[in-house]
Amino acid sequence: MDIDKYSAVLAVGGDGMIHEVINGIMRRQDKRKIPIGFIPNGTGNDTCAGLLIENVKEGMAYVTKGDTVKIDVTRVLMDFESE
């Protein structure tokens, strides 16, 4: 994805969708980042709940206002994986 064409990525779904989107961004060879918005629409939505985004309306309020919250991301490698 050419992220220069976009100002953000919007993930609509649950924790699985958020996981996939974040991992996709983190695996970019060029290491470029882009803001990611979350709209809860899954079964668990624990990530959104932790950010106090309880429903679609609250998620859209963050997106339309352009509010951002920085979140730490950690990469864990298994014994057979390497950088």
Q: What is the pLDDT of residue 17?
A: 93
Which pTM was predicted?
0.79
Domain coverage including residue 32: 3-65
**In the predicted structure, residue 83 carries a pLDDT above the cut 70:** no
Sign of CA dihedral 36, 38, 53, 44: negative
- Residue 83 in domain: no
Query: Of the residues 15, 30, 67, 79, which is catalytic?
Result: 15
Cα Dmax for the chain: 43
Number of domains in the chain: 1
- Residue 78 in domain: no
C-alpha angle 39-36-69 in degrees, rounded to nearest 5:
90
DSSP state of 4: G
- Residue 79 in domain: no
Q: Give the tens place of pLDDT for each residue, 62-82.
A: 889 987 888 888 888 888 777
Tell me, yes or no, if 15 is annotated catalytic.
yes
Which is more confidently placed, 12 or 82?
Answer: 12
State the Cα–Cα distance between residues 74 and 39, nearest whole angstrom.
Answer: 22
